[in-house]
Chain A
Amino acid sequence: MSNDTNGPNHQALVDIGRAKIAWAKNHSPVLGSFVFKHLNDGTLRNKRIAVVVHLEAKTAYLATLLANAGANVVAAGSNPATTDGAVVAALRDAGIHVVSDAGSDLATWERELHRAADFEPDYVIDDGAELTARIGKYRPDVFQSLKGVSEQTTTGTARLYALEHAGKLPFPALTANNARCKHMFDNRYGTGQTTLQAVLRLSGRRLAGSKIAVIGYGYVGRGIAEYAAKLHARVMVIEVDPVRALEAHMDGHHVGTAHDVLPHAEFVITATGGIRALARQDFSLLTHDVILANAGHHDLEIDVDALSNAADTISHPSPDTTTYTLGTRDVHVLCNGALVNIAGGSGHPVEIMDLSFAVQGIGAHYLINTPLDPGVHVLPKVLDDAIARSKLESLGVTLAQPRPEQVDRHDGLIDEIEL
C-alpha cells in the first residue's frame, strides 16, 4: 500500500483509515465512555506513551483516545505483517506519531521499534513485550527510566515475569493479559472466533465434519476448540500441562501426543504462546493437504524455516498460502505462520478489543496514578469489575445484587473453634 503522503491517493487512504477507526469507535462503548472519562482527568497530559500493538483500527482508536487526553503518543506495530497502511495514514493525518508502515520486513520492523525506543517513552502499552525487550537491549538508559509497562499477551507476560525473576525489571509492569476482562474474552472468544474465520476464509474449507488439532489448551486454544466443536468439527488437543490436558478431555475433546493426533488432522492450529510447537520432528506425522495455521503470538510457533528446509518444493497457491511438498505430501501453511486472524483477517472483533483496550487504557491510567514497586502487577479487581460493569451497562444487561442473607460469613464455624 502506498505511503505517499501527498495527492489524492494519500487522501483516499486517509479516508479509508478514518472510516475504519470510526467503525471501531462506534462499536467500543466501554472505551468511549468509561475509559474516556478516566483518561481525561488531566493526569495523562504530556506523558510520553508508546502504543505497540498490532497497528490496525482498534489500536488506532486507543492511541487516539490517549492522544486526545493530552498524552504524547508514538504508535508502532507489534508485528510487521499486521500493520494497516490506511490506519497508519489516518493516524498520521490526525497528528499522531507513527513509526511503522505497512508491508515492512523484519529488518525494517526492528528499525521501527528502535525509533519507538528513541521516542523515550515514560510508559509502554506493549504486545508480546516487543518494545520493552528492545528498549532493554537497545536503550538501557530509557529502560532504567521507564515508569511503567502494560502488557497485552500471555507471551509478553511470561517475558516480563522472566525479567522480574532475573532481577532485570526496574519498573512496574502491569499484565493486562491477566485481567479477567482481557484473557477471558480476548483470548477465548476473540481469538477463537476470528482464527476459525480466517482459516475457513483463506482455505475455502468446511469445518463441520473435519478433524482439527489444536496445540495448546490455554484460553486461546480453548476458544478455538470450543467454537470448532460447536461448529461440528472433531477436535483433538495436544497439551503438555496435565491440568489443561485433563480439562480438554473433560470438555469432550480427544487429547493425545503429536503421534496420536497429527496423522488424523486436516487442520492444525498452534496456540501455545511459545515457539516451535510444530517443529521438524512433527512433519513426518502430517497428512497430505493438511492446513497449518498459528493463533499464538509468535510467528515461530510453526517452525516454517525447518519446514522450508525439509521441503522438496515450495509453491504459493494464493498470496496467503504456502505449500511445502514433503515427498508425496503437500503441507499448506497460512500467512507464513504469522497470527492467522490478524495477518489473514481483520483481527479480533471490535467488541472484544473494546474490553481488552479498556484494560490497557485503564491500566495505563493506573500506572500513571499509582505508586507501584518494580515488578509484575495485575490490574486490581475493582478496576476489572468496573470495566465489566461498564460493558454490561452498554449491553443493557442488569447485574443481580447479592442479598445480605445469601452471604455465609462462617460465624458459627469460627465461634466453635477456640485456639
Chain B
Amino acid sequence: MSGAATPWAARFMPVCNGVLDTVFTADELGALALSIALPPGRGTNALIDLLKARGANVAALDFDEGIFPPARADKAHVVLGFKPEFEQCVAQPDVNTVWGATLAQDAALGDVRAVHLGKSDLRAHFEDYSGAGQAGVMTFLDITNLQLAGRSALVLGFDTKARGVAACARALGAQVSVVDDDPRALVMAVARGYAAQDIKLALPGADIILCVTRGALQTLLERIEVLQPGAFVVNVADDAYHDFLGRFASIEPLRESVHACRCTDGKSIRVIAGARPLADAPDGLPLECLDVVFALHLCALRQILDTNAAPPQVTPLEAKYEKAVAEILLSRHRRS
C-alpha cells in the first residue's frame, strides 16, 4: 500500500472526525490505550492516524491472526482495549482486566464488556447494503472486463448484504433472480421486482452466481452439476471457503483472478478470486462506508466508557449515537 493512500482515505472520512470532535473530550482520548483489530487497508490506517492525532495510544492488532477464539467472536469487529496487556488478556477471555470491545455483530465474549453494532441500521446500510453491494459487483466487473447488462445474475440469499448486491447488479442492467430458504425473504425479493426461484430451477439459467449468505458456496458445490458451462461463481459473503478451488477435478488460470474449474462431469465453470470474499478485499468497501462504520465503532467506545462500572455484558449501540452519526452526515449533505 502506498504511503499516500492513508491521507487520501482521511480526506473522505469526515464523520469519524465529527464524532471524535463531538463525542470525546480533548483529554479523554489521550488517556486511552487502544488496540484496533479491523481488516487492514487505507481506511483502517486513516482511522488509526485520526486517533493518534488526538493523542490516543493506538496499536493495530493482527486482524488475520484473530484476536478472540473464532467460536466466540465475529470476524468483522474492532476491539478497543484500555490496558497495555490487552492482547494477552483477550487470549484468556476469563481474565477480568479487559474493559471493552466493540463488535460488528452480537457475540458472546465472556468477561469482556462489549457493545455490538449488529442492530444498527446505519451500519447495515453503509457496510452491508451500499458498501458490499457496490464493492462486490464493481470488483467482479473490474476483474472480468465484462458487462452486467443483459446477463442473468442469481443472488444466493436475500439478507441486507444480498439486497445490496442484487440492487447494484440490477442497476447495471442484470436480470436478477433470488434464492433464499426463507419464504419471507423471497416475498420481499418479489416485492422489489426480482424473480424468486427455487434453487434447482434458478441455477441452470444463471450466467453469474453471487453467493452472499453464509453457506451459499457449500450449497452451490452440492449442486454444481446443474450449472451451465462457463457460469461465473462470485463470493460476496463475509466468509472465505477454504480451498474452494481444491474441490474441482482441475483448475486452469484464465486471467488474473479468474480460474476455469473443471467439474467431475467435464464441464467448466469460472470462479472469481478463488471464491475469496470480494467485498472484503483490501480497500474493498468505499471510503464513505468505512467512515460511517468506524464512526459507529467510536460511538460504541464512548458507550463503553460511560458504562465502565457495569458488569461485563454485550449490549447494542444506543440509538442516540446512531442519531448523532446521522446528524453529522446530514449536516454535510445540507452544506453542499
**Residue of B with least CB distance to A198:** B142
Does B81 make an interface contact (CB < 8 A)?
Answer: no
Per-residue A-contact encoding for B131-167, CB less than 8 Å = 1, 0 else: 1001000100110011111100000000000000000
Q: Which residues of A contact B141 (CB under 8 A)?
A: 193-194, 197, 349
Q: Which residues of B contact A210 (CB under 8 A)?
A: 288
Cα separation A209 to B146 with both chains bound (whole Å): 26
Minimum CB–CB distance from A12 to chain B (whole Å) comes to 13
> Using a CB-CB cutoff of 8 Å, which residues 330-383 of chain A contact chain B?
330, 345-347, 349-352
8 Å CB contact of B147 from A201, A231, A289, A352? A352
Q: In whole angstroms, how far apart are the Cα atoms of A316 and B288 in the complex? A: 21
Asked if B4 and A205 sit within 8 Å, CB to CB, the answer is no
- On chain A, the residues within 8 Å of B95 by CB distance are none
Q: Mark B6-20, 1 if CB is under 8 A from A, else 0.
A: 011101100000000
Contact call B171/A287, Cβ cutoff below 8 A: no
Q: Are A20 and B4 in contact (CB under 8 A)?
A: no
How far, in Å, is A231 (CB) from chain B's closest CB? 5
Known: A197-B138, A209-B288. A350 touches B145 (CB 8 A): yes
Q: Indicate if the CB atoms of B134 and A208 lie closer than 8 Å.
A: yes
> In the docked arrangement, what's the CA distance between A358 and B336, Å?
45
Measured CB to CB, the closest approach of chain A to B84, in angstroms, equals: 33
Known: A189-B173, A201-B138. A349 touches B4 (CB 8 A): no
**Chain B residues in 8 Å Cβ range of A276:** none
A209 surroundings in chain B (CB, below 8 A): 130, 288, 333
Residues in A whose Cβ lies below 8 Å from that of B8: 204, 317-318, 321
Docked-complex contact B336 and A266, CB < 8 angstroms: yes
The answer, among B150, B170, B253, B287, for a CB contact under 8 Å with A205, is B287
Query: Residues 199-232 of chain A: 1 if any B CB is under 8 Å from the residue's CB, otherwise 0?
Result: 0110011111111000000000000000100111
**Considering only CB atoms, which chain A residue lies closest to B336 in the complex?**
A264
B5 interfacial contact with A, CB 8 Å: yes
Chain B residues closer than 8 Å to A395, beta-carbon distance: 150
Q: Find out whether the CB atom of B147 lies under 8 angstroms from the CB atom of A190.
A: yes
* Whole-angstrom CA separation of A347 from B12 in the bound complex: 27
Against B, the Cβ 8 Å flags (1 = close, 0 = not) of A311-325 are 000001110010000
Tell me the complex Cα distance, A210–B7, Å.
20
Q: Is A115 an interface residue (CB 8 A)?
A: no
Q: Tell me which residues across on chain B come within 8 A of A200, comparing CB atoms.
A: 134, 138, 286
Inside 8 A of A351's CB, which chain B residues have their CB? 146-147, 150
B146 and A27 form a contact (CB under 8 A): yes
**A19 on the interface (CB 8 Å rule)?**
yes
Contact A193 B147 (CB under 8 A): yes
> B9 contacts which chain A residues (CB < 8 A)?
204
B160 to chain A, nearest CB (A): 14
For A210, give the chain B residue with the smallest CB separation.
B288
Interface residues of B in 306-336 (CB under 8 A from A): 333, 336
List B contacts of A207 (CB < 8 A).
134, 286
Chain B residues within 8 Å of A349, by CB:
141, 145-147
Q: How far, in whole Å, are A193 and B148 apart by their CA atoms in the complex?
A: 9
Cβ-neighbour of B254 out of A23, A227, A289, A346 (below 8 A): A23
- Which residue of A is nearest B8, CB measured? A317
Please report the C-alpha to C-alpha distance between residue A148 and residue B150 in the assembled complex, in whole angstroms. 34
**Residue in B2, B148, B336 whose CB lies within 8 Å of A211:** B336
CA distance A386 to B78 in the complex (A): 57
Cα(A20)–Cα(B256), bound, Å: 10
A206 touches B145 (CB 8 A): no
Task: Digitize A263-288: 1 where CB-to-B-CB distance is under 8 Å, 0 elsewhere.
Answer: 01010000000000000000000010
Report A's interface with B, CB cutoff 8 A. 19-20, 22-23, 27, 189-190, 193-194, 197, 200-201, 204-211, 227, 230-232, 264, 266, 287, 289, 316-318, 321, 330, 345-347, 349-352, 395
28 contacting pairs across A/B (C-beta < 8 A):
A193-B148, A193-B149, A193-B173, A197-B141, A201-B138, A204-B8, A204-B12, A204-B42, A204-B287, A206-B131, A206-B287, A206-B288, A206-B289, A207-B286, A208-B130, A209-B333, A227-B171, A230-B171, A231-B168, A232-B171, A317-B7, A346-B142, A346-B145, A347-B145, A349-B146, A350-B146, A351-B146, A351-B147
